[in-house]
Amino acid sequence: MTSDTNEFGQEIGFPLDFTGPWLHPQSITLTGRTCHLKRAAPEHACGLFDSYSLDHSGKNWIYMPTSLAPEFAEFEVWFISRCLGDDFLFYTVFDRDE
């Protein structure tokens, strides 16, 4: 059995048979060997926008419900309104040295 792929040829897995209800994840910092994940916060917006702006192909936005805003002010409004609420739990990935 093979995995489904998207328009970039990336494997995106299989459709899920179980659709919920899912438990709400906890808002904790996750620490790994090479990076750590922190719950998304307003002060992460500028760094995220700068990083996402380096991707001109759109691959970073495969699982996002919208495309990247062309200007930081528009991105910041979207980020704060959509990524910092209680409906979804977004994390920002930092390397070990942050």
Four-residue CA torsion sign, 16, 33, 58, 75: positive
pLDDT tens profile 45-69: 999 999 989 988 888 888 877 888 8
* 63-81 pLDDT, tens digit each: 877 888 889 999 999 999 9
| pLDDT-derived band at 19, boundaries 50, 70, 90 | confident
- d(Cα 23, Cα 61) in Å, to the nearest integer? 25
> How much is the pLDDT for 77?
95
Task: Tell me what the pLDDT averaged over the chain comes to.
Answer: 88
Q: Where are the domains of the chain?
A: 44-98
Q: What is the pLDDT of residue 1?
A: 55
Instruction: Using pLDDT thresholds of 50, 70 and 90, give the confidence band for residue 13.
Output: confident
What distance in Å separates the CA atoms of residue 47 and residue 84, rounded to the nearest whole number? 16
Tell which residue, 72, 32, 77, has the closest CA to residue 52.
Answer: 72
